[in-house]
Amino acid sequence: MAEFELDCLGEACPIPLVKTEKKMQELDVGDTLIVMIDHSCALKNVPEWARKNNYDVEVEEVGESEWEIFIDKTA
Amino acid sequence: MKLSSNKYYQAWFKNPWTYVTGAILLSIFQLVTIATTDGAWGVTGPFAVWGAWVVQAFGGSVDHWYFFSTESGRAALDRTFLTDPASVRNLGVIIGALLATLLASQFKFKKIKNLRQVGAAVFGGLLMGYGSRIAFGCNIGALYSGISNLSVSGWVFALFMFAGAFVGSKLLVKYFMQ
């Protein structure tokens, strides 16, 4: 049940998405990945990708134009 | 109740509108553009005219440049910023984008991660600017306006744009994933 962070601040699309995809492969089932982003299009495509893979997703707006996406590797 | 949790505020200003909403609005406004300015919607054309104005302001002459030798090219040069619909529209795009991001409370100066990002942005910008001039339009003027005005050139542009995007995304993954 480990927690990992992925700092994608300052990265434009599609880099946050590609990095998230790669990182999720390294995680074990039950782990959580927190992706930090400040690019609004990643706010759309990262959760979309995660939901398509049946992961639990939660988005939190942590500041002005800054978000943390929590992805649970459920399967 | 806080404004940020008001559902109308969230629907109109905070959450991104759907692609379909955007597409419908773009279609309506490009019709308005043609009806009011007698020209199709374009973005990068005025950049070349702005550049020419700068050259002229410093006493240079662009009369012999092929790009401005056409009738429409000369006509654009004779206008001023405020009498050129495309220039005013570009300014509107920038002000509108700023307004939208401020209303959503999402304005932010993004930090630059590394020099490579700067180099790629400058080099990519130059390529896009130069490419859009030799193609006589960018993805708005040549692609969007081309296709919506039933021009074959728009579809040709689309084909090569997809090829470029494919190569570009491969380069992106190769050089920007560290």
pLDDT in tens, A34-59: 999 998 889 989 999 999 999 999 99
Q: Tell me which residue in A14, A19, A40 faces B106 most closely, judged by beta carbons.
A: A40
What distance in Å separates the CA atoms of residue B170 and residue B147, rounded to the nearest whole number? 27
Whether B70 has a pLDDT exceeding 90, the answer reads: no
Q: What are phi and psi of A3, to 5 degrees?
A: -120, 130
Residue A69's SS3 state is: strand
Whether A71 has a pLDDT exceeding 90, the answer reads: yes
Name every residue whose Cβ is closer than 8 Å to that of residue A45 and which is 6 or more positions away in sequence: A13, A14, A17
Inter-chain touch A15–B177, beta carbons under 8 Å: yes
> Which residue, among B3, B97, B4, has the nearest Cα to B43 in the 3D structure?
B97
Q: B114: nearest CA in chain A?
A: A10
Q: Tell me which residue in A10, A19, A44 faces B110 most closely, judged by beta carbons.
A: A10
Lowest-confidence pick of A30-39, B58-67, B89-98: B58-67
Q: What are phi and psi of A36, to 5 degrees?
A: -100, 125
Structural domain boundaries in chain A: 3-72
CATH topology of domain A3-72: Translation Initiation Factor IF3 (3.30.110)
End-to-end CA, chain A: 13
- ipTM over 0.90 threshold: no
Q: H or E element: which one contains B9?
A: helix B7-9
Q: What is the mean pLDDT of chain A?
A: 92
Name every residue whose Cβ is closer than 8 Å to that of residue B11 and which is 6 or more positions away in sequence: none
Q: DSSP alpha helices (H): ranges in chain A?
A: 15-26, 40-52
Min Cα distance B150 → chain A (Å) is 30
- Mean pLDDT score, B128-143: 92
Partner residues linked to A6 by β-bridges: A35
Q: How confident is the model at residue B4 (pLDDT cuts 50, 70, 90)?
A: confident
